[in-house]
Structure 1
Amino acid sequence: MSPDSPAVPGPGGSEESAWEQMLRSMLGPAADEAIAEMRARGLDPAALAAQSGLPDDPQALRAVFAQMQNLLAAGGDEPVNWQVAHDLARQQASVGGDPSLTPAQTQAALDALSVAELWLDAATDLPPSTGTARAWSRAEWVEATLPTWRTLSEPVASSLSIALAETLGGALPEGLDTGALPGAAAIDPTAMLRRLGSAVFGMQVGHAAGTLARETFGTTDIGLPLLDRPAPALVPTNVDAFAEGLDAPVEEVRLFLALREAAATRLFTHVPWLRAHLLGAVDAYARGITVDVDQLEEAVRSIDPSDADALREALSGGVFAPHTTPAQQAALERLETSLALVEGWVDEVASTAALPHLPHTVALREMIRRRRAAGGPAEQTFATLVGLELRPRRLREASALWAQIGRDGGTDARDAVWDHPDLLPTTEDLDDPTGYTARRAAAVDESADLDRALAEILGEEPGTQE
């Protein structure tokens, strides 16, 4: 308690802090119940103020509360406060500097993507993307990809915001009127908690996207297409930083990364169902998340409610402890297999295109594989936020499978596997790449037998069914 704000006698004759005075001015008759509830949960109102560094002064605390109300009111009813996410992502992206690209940097990136397209023509039958190639600063990468982060994060944010409100809402006293504070609009307590969750998730998404902006090379590094309309792009600042200290020249590193970006963009452009397939698996997993309420309540007791950063760290520390249901496990398996197949195809095609031209292809390929297997800080943050890891656990097996399909049937057969999601290899195929061709042939024969049986039942000639 500050010397300028001495304790005053409370209703029972005991001294109470300015923090408790503020609660009484805010809650009115409900203050006694609220303070008793907080202490029953192990929260000492006076200690909270001291630990959080807040001023032990009613007027100052009212101002802090009004500022918080303004923040919460700005978030609306969305599960993620996207203004907070956007602003924090831009701040995080600029950590360490994010100067505008020079004309030379832009031209070098565009030239690398142009050369990559020429080399890829010899390695795949999929044609180049129709999107315009780009060279972006980190801030420009944030602006271009944030809409997809919205698609990825809102399902889980919605589920967890509801859980947060339901878990903590019962602890709030009835009749809470935040409008009693000068400069603060009245708001329903449950709505306030949801908006608090929205602001916290905005911080979480912004932190992840902004951190990834300092690590990513293009728009396809995490295996998911981050643009609604695929187009190849490079972030030259990150490419140059990655090349520092490597034995390979920066020009060679840039070309290798351009090959990977261009190959993945070709895939997402000319396999129209693939983006929805991947994002749908993320959505199916996220919407099935349930919350361990007991663990959430236990964690909340140890959190300073005035510290949004503490709440964000608690969320990123796994407070919600998602329980994996059978449906989620199936969605997770589909996603992990699909991610491995996408990355494996890109790995195989880009390396095949690079080998005749880049002396360090083998070393660069291995370095990228290890980088993807380890994941970076942003990917780990996102893994906690969405509840799953966006990295291909079986990249090497998938690369071997695509190489085997190419040896057995050529690039036509390899690329034709993407014609329909039902043709995608399975985990069994990743376990045994050499047996894929035989299993696929057996499946085709089985389908032909079924067609013949149906034709006989319907009295038609085989192959005439529409």
Structure 2
Amino acid sequence: MADDDRTPEEEFQELIRQLFGGSGGLDPEQLSALSGMNIDPAMMQTVMQHLQGAFAGGGETGISWDLAQRQALHIANQDGLGVTTGQRTDLDQAFALATLWLSEATTISELAEQPQTLTRGGWVEATMPVWQQLAEPVATSIADALTSALSQNAPDDMQGLVQGAGRLMRTVGGSLFASQLGQVVGNLSKEVVSGGDVGIPLVPDGQAAILPQNFADFGRDLEVPDDQLALYVATRELAHARLFRHARWLRLHVISQVTDFARGVHVDTDALEDLASRFDPSEPDELRRALESGALLPARSEAQNAALTRLENLLATIEGWVEVVTEQATSRLPSADRIAEAVRRRRAVGGPAERALGSLVGLELRPRRMREAAAMWRAVTDAVGPAARDALWDYPDLMPGAADIDDPAGLVARLEARARGEQPAPDELDDALARLLAGEIPSVDGEAGTAGDAGAEGDADDTRDDGDTDDQGPAPDDHRPV
């Protein structure tokens, strides 16, 4: 068949084949034939070029994270403003005084690195690796679902072409998600005030940072002197950074809980197939709105709700400690209480970009129990002092858990008994462990066996159905300080 005899659909398929081949040579005359399909050739040429770039740089997952960073930097750097010498000097002085005050409130040591003043673009570059780690499970799920939905809705005569283009389809879905993530992170760079402002460890451990461009916006309506606001924000940021530098296991603890939640995110295939069946390439706003609104993410499962509850308790435990230590360190500031309340409200509500992040990945990073956690830390401080309080961050199994937030008196009683050199009263778990070590393990015929019998016969506890032959010890999430 001569080129002139091709239908617009055949012309489009030929362009797709050129795209798969990576030749980059898209013929303008061929593009002009797309006018018969009601597709703007200029728009299609731009789309093709972007897809070729994404196809080349998407890696094995088909997701171009460079695209997300470029998009975020474009938004973050729109105003073209940097950090002035005056801003840097004022914040350096605030950090210096905050360091002295904080050392009186906590036994956790000072940072080894000097605090930084970051531009919005600098914040994007510093935090994008963590955003990628958090968002990749969701992006992969969306890319896989988009591949499946488009394949199911493609005409029969294009099935072979679609099936042979699986990687490109993944790239399309992944790139759409990466672009949306870039927009969210770019807009978030206009809201955050400091490195620990979002609550999760976005900057490397041991680093503290403030964004002067956003610091001014945060304090505009508080009617608080700038020097007091700077001292409070610097103290809070240093407390957050010190904690993560001291408890080096804490970063992995937080990130793993976030990614555990994200891995459970699945795309609503019915919603995606409905969108794919009526998707108009010349009107991409519908897909963008679907991603932004979270319409493609179904309701959370029970497992996800449980994971989210664990994460919220963990974030509340961290931020409650930061609040109490900051409160003690800034007791000299006349406006400290007013600033602290503004920070609490801000963390409870979040800004537009943070809410958009929740819609995109299905996760809102809210320390919903921060007030209760702060009350727990105050009770601990009053009872045993800062040194014993801060020692709870030395090891993961010492860190207070959700039960301690519910019952601070129980935690305080254990810490006071420990300070007196007393052993804590045994509970059901301790009794079970004692019976296990004494060899009082039910055998297969219901008679107690010895520890040696248990080793020879294997674990015969008929209450377990997972086939695990290891002895049962304390639950891994038992964080009681003993």
- Shorter-chain TM band: 0.7 to 0.9
Distance in structure 2 (CA, Å) of the matches to 1:76 and 1:175: 28
Q: Is the 8 A contact 2:240 2:322 kept in 1?
A: yes
Measured after TM superposition, the shift of residue 327 of structure 1 is 3.0
Q: Secondary structure at the match of 2:105?
A: coil
Change (3 A) 1:60 1:224: closer
Q: Does 1:25 align with 2:1?
A: no
Change (3 A) 1:320 1:253: same
TM-score under structure 1 length normalisation: 0.80
Q: Is the 8 A contact 1:75 1:199 kept in 2?
A: no
Q: Does 1:426 align with 2:401?
A: yes
RMSD: 3.2
Measured after TM superposition, the shift of residue 379 of structure 1 is 1.0
Q: Is the 8 A contact 1:382 1:389 kept in 2?
A: yes
Change (3 A) 1:110 1:55: farther
Distance in structure 1 (CA, Å) of the matches to 2:221 and 2:125: 30
Q: Does 1:341 align with 2:317?
A: yes
Distance in structure 2 (CA, Å) of the matches to 1:298 and 1:173: 16
Q: Secondary structure at the match of 1:297?
A: helix
Distance in structure 2 (CA, Å) of the matches to 1:251 and 1:170: 61
Q: Does 1:239 align with 2:215?
A: yes
Q: Does 1:370 align with 2:345?
A: yes
- Larger displacement relative to structure 2 (68-77 or 315-324): 68-77
Change (3 A) 1:343 1:59: closer
Distance in structure 1 (CA, Å) of the matches to 2:43 and 2:134: 37
Change (3 A) 1:57 1:273: closer
Residue 382 of structure 2 is matched in structure 1 by 407
Residue 266 of structure 1 is matched in structure 2 by 242
> Where does structure 1 lack aligned partners over 5 or more consecutive residues?
1-10, 12-19, 31-48, 180-185, 460-466
Residue 467 of structure 2 is matched in structure 1 by none
Q: Is the 8 A contact 2:383 2:412 kept in 1?
A: yes
Task: Give the aligned residue type for 2:150.
Answer: L
Task: Give the aligned residue type for 1:428.
Answer: A
Q: Is the 8 A contact 1:285 1:331 kept in 2?
A: yes
Residue 146 of structure 1 is matched in structure 2 by 128
Residue 143 of structure 2 is matched in structure 1 by 161
Q: Secondary structure at the match of 1:445?
A: coil
Deviation string 1:290-328 (CA, Å, 9 cap, x unpaired) is: 232112222334543344443222112122233433432
Distance in structure 1 (CA, Å) of the matches to 2:146 and 2:98: 48
- Flag the structure with more relative contact order, 1 or 2, with Cα contacts below 8 A and sequence separation at least 6: 1
Residue 119 of structure 1 is matched in structure 2 by 101
Deviation string 1:9-47 (CA, Å, 9 cap, x unpaired) is: xx9xxxxxxxx953232237x9xxxxxxxxxxxxxxxxx
Change (3 A) 1:321 1:109: same
Q: Is the 8 A contact 2:106 2:325 kept in 1?
A: yes
- Candidates 72, 89, 97, aligned match of 1:89: 72
Measured after TM superposition, the shift of residue 119 of structure 1 is 0.5
Distance in structure 1 (CA, Å) of the matches to 2:114 and 2:124: 18
Distance in structure 2 (CA, Å) of the matches to 1:107 and 1:120: 20
Q: Does 1:332 align with 2:308?
A: yes
> Where does structure 2 lack aligned partners over 5 or more consecutive residues?
17-33, 440-450, 453-482
Distance in structure 1 (CA, Å) of the matches to 2:46 and 2:434: 75
Task: Give the aligned residue type for 1:108.
Answer: D
Measured after TM superposition, the shift of residue 165 of structure 1 is 1.2
What are the within-5 Å matches in structure 2 for residues 284-295 of structure 1? 284-295=260-271
Distance in structure 2 (CA, Å) of the matches to 1:138 and 1:187: 42
Distance in structure 1 (CA, Å) of the matches to 2:42 and 2:85: 50
What are the within-5 Å matches in structure 2 for residues 301-320 of structure 1? 301-320=277-296
Q: Is the 8 A contact 1:21 1:58 kept in 2?
A: no
Q: Is the 8 A contact 2:62 2:168 kept in 1?
A: no
Task: Give the aligned residue type for 1:242.
Answer: F
Alignment size in residue pairs: 411
